[in-house]
Amino acid sequence: MKMLINVPESVVPDALRGMAAAHPELSVDVERRVVVRRDAPVAGKVALVSGGGSGHEPLHGGFVGAGMLDAACPGEIFTSPVPDQMVRAAAAVDSGEGVLFIVKNYTGDVLNFNMAAELAEDEGIQVASVLVNDDVAVTDSLYTAGRRGTGATLFVEKIAGAAAEEGAPLERVEAIARRVNEASRSFGVALASCTTPAKGSPTFDLPAGELELGVGIHGEPGRERRAMMTSGEIADFAVDAVLADLQPTGPVLALVNGAGGTPLLELYGFTAEVHRVLRERDVPVARTLVGNYVTSLDMAGASVTLCQVDEELLRLWDAPVQTPGLRWGR
């Protein structure tokens, strides 16, 4: 496989050096693997910290900035960051109002963020944590006890980040983050495997003419494999899987997320089908976001995330945000 890299061992630090060069509004510690908004700590503001394995960009470093995360901790490819990174990030952004850890439900992330919370509290930093577990495809997977955390991470970081930017206290920001997670569900589909730099070949075998329904963001198996389907058929399957679990009674935010190797031309076509299914199921769509936001390196495929919203959550979603990966209203 051809990749635009130097050597596999330097992929993450090379990417962090590039992020630092492209985004002077961020403070990027390449050696210690922490990305922080340059104006942190922001006085009177609860700080949001997240992180996870690299390979899912722009998640999480690309969501650091005003209205979203205060810091992110990138691990190695598909590997959790370590507690020292998380404690360092919390210390860098804590203004005295507390820190919220946003954690995707993967075993390594959960263990390391829990340990980091204990270490940070030993240093006098008040920490709360919210677990994101929105994937309806499977329970208890290769990396996870319970449901996996996927696209809803973006909704949690954006909406809770807006609440924190407004000056809400830690308890309120935590409660809003939990509400968003509980109101969100996701389902992903893979058309082709991803390739990690270290392996240099597909991470799982997906024969030509087949697709994986319910794939995880690390290539974990989903519900089943089928012969290739049309965009409309995939939308029917994915949206119905989400709606069967979420059962919304009001409008939703819709995220049509590319896995990293699917062009926007296809994603917009898929979005049209997602909207068709929601219209047929009498589910109103308040806002739609389309693009590559929670990726799996170069995997071909997409995921659908829906979040039921009320007036408050929609207002917080629409609030200004200024990050490398998401920006509007400023």
Cβ burial, residue 279 (10 Å; 0-12/13-18/19+): exposed
Give one DSSP letter per residue of 83-110, joined into a string. HHHHHHHHHHH--SS-EEEEEES-HHHH
Tell me the C-alpha distance between 240 and 188, whole Å: 12
CA distances from 190 to 53, 194, 218, 299 (A): 19, 9, 11, 7
- DSSP 8-state code for residue 8: G
Tell me the C-alpha distance between 142 and 139, whole Å: 10
- β-pairing, 127-132 vs 210-213, is unpaired
Q: Which residues pair with 184 in a beta bridge?
A: 307
The closest alpha carbon to 132, from 143, 148, 116, belongs to 148
Contact criterion met (CB below 8 Å) for 258 and 291? yes
Place of tokens 């677990």: 131
> Please, how many CA atoms are within 13 Å of residue 113, restricted to the half-sphere of its CB?
29
Q: Which residues are catalytic?
A: 56, 218
> Please, how many CA atoms are within 13 Å of residue 24, restricted to the half-sphere of its CB?
0
Which pair of structure tokens corresponds to residue 263? 């062009």
With a CB cutoff of 8 Å and minimum separation 6, the contacts of 7 are none
Terminal C-alpha separation, the chain:
40
The Cβ of residue 310 has, within 10 Å, a number of other Cβ atoms equal to 12
